[in-house]
Amino acid sequence: MDPGSLTNGVYHNKTLGFTCKIPEGWVLRTDEMNAPNENDESSAQLPAADKTSNESQPPATSKNPQAPPTRAQSARVLLAAFSRPPQVRGQEVNASIVIAAEPVATYPGLTDALQYLSLLTEVAQAQGFTMDEDPYEIAIGTRKLVRGDSHKDVGTRVMRQSTLAMLQHGYAVSFTVIAGTDDDLEELIDGLDFATGRAQPATK
């Protein structure tokens, strides 16, 4: 899997044919989330909303420690970016962008993105998220994905999460964003673009 590259605040993945803008001042935790040592705090604490609450949770990706071991071992986090370091306390929801990919072969019988999103939705619901509506198709640039929106009450705040999913080059790919408001959530999703170029052949 192409790990992608970061240039001037924009993540590029030529194999999957997309770019993703990272807000200025955000911190990256991609390497930490891919760390093999699951006991390491930086790798185990996936996108947390806020350390002022015990309700902090990672998004619904297969790197979630609650996921079956086979999924956690096969998944690759391509990008993990946060509005502040996960261990730093704050009054607002810690917004985040997490892009992950795992082999479709991990799931026998998986044939479309909606099936994959349904699996991620189960993880989100197990974490206490409530789905806002049924999943729906969304077009971003030249690509169609399926999207699921959910929310979770965290003290006096509401954590909003959207996950977009697609299947490409034998991988199931998820784009999960977390924010404190709908406007902030949509702004993060607007930073995702598939119009900058065609997906390139996957390299081994």
Place of tokens 């760390």: 35
Least confident of 48-57, 95-104, 106-115, 186-195: 48-57
Residue 67 lies in a domain: yes
CA–CA gap between residue 86 and residue 174 (Å, rounded): 20
Of the candidates 18, 165, 164, 162, the residue with the CA atom closest to the CA atom of residue 104: 165
What backbone phi and psi angles, to 5 degrees, belong to 33?
A: -75, -20
CA–CA gap between residue 47 and residue 203 (Å, rounded): 29
Higher pLDDT, 157 or 87: 157
Residue 201 lies in a domain: no
Residue 141 lies in a domain: yes
Residue 200 lies in a domain: no
Residues 100-131: pLDDT tens digits? 999 999 999 999 999 999 999 999 999 999 99
CA–CA gap between residue 73 and residue 16 (Å, rounded): 21
SS3 185: helix
Residue 204 lies in a domain: no
Q: Is the pTM of this model over 0.75?
A: yes
Strand ranges inside the chain, DSSP E: 5-7, 10-13, 18-21, 27-28, 76-82, 96-103, 130-131, 136-140, 143-154, 157-168, 171-179, 192-193
Residues 68-82: pLDDT tens digits? 334 455 789 999 999
Structure tokens at 176: 């999960």
Residue 62 lies in a domain: yes
CA–CA gap between residue 64 and residue 138 (Å, rounded): 25
**Quick one: pLDDT at residue 196?**
53
**Quick one: pLDDT at residue 154?**
86
Structure tokens at 32: 């930490």
Higher pLDDT, 91 or 173: 173
Could you list the residue range(s) of the whole structural domain that residue 43 is in? 5-193
Average pLDDT, integer, range 146-154: 95
Which CATH number fits the domain that encloses residue 45?
3.40.1000.10
Beta carbons within 8 Å of 72's beta carbon, 6+ residues apart: 38, 62, 63, 64, 65
Residue 132 lies in a domain: yes
- When divided into structural domains, the chain yields a total of 1
Of the candidates 130, 155, 153, 147, the residue with the CA atom closest to the CA atom of residue 186: 147
Residue 202 lies in a domain: no
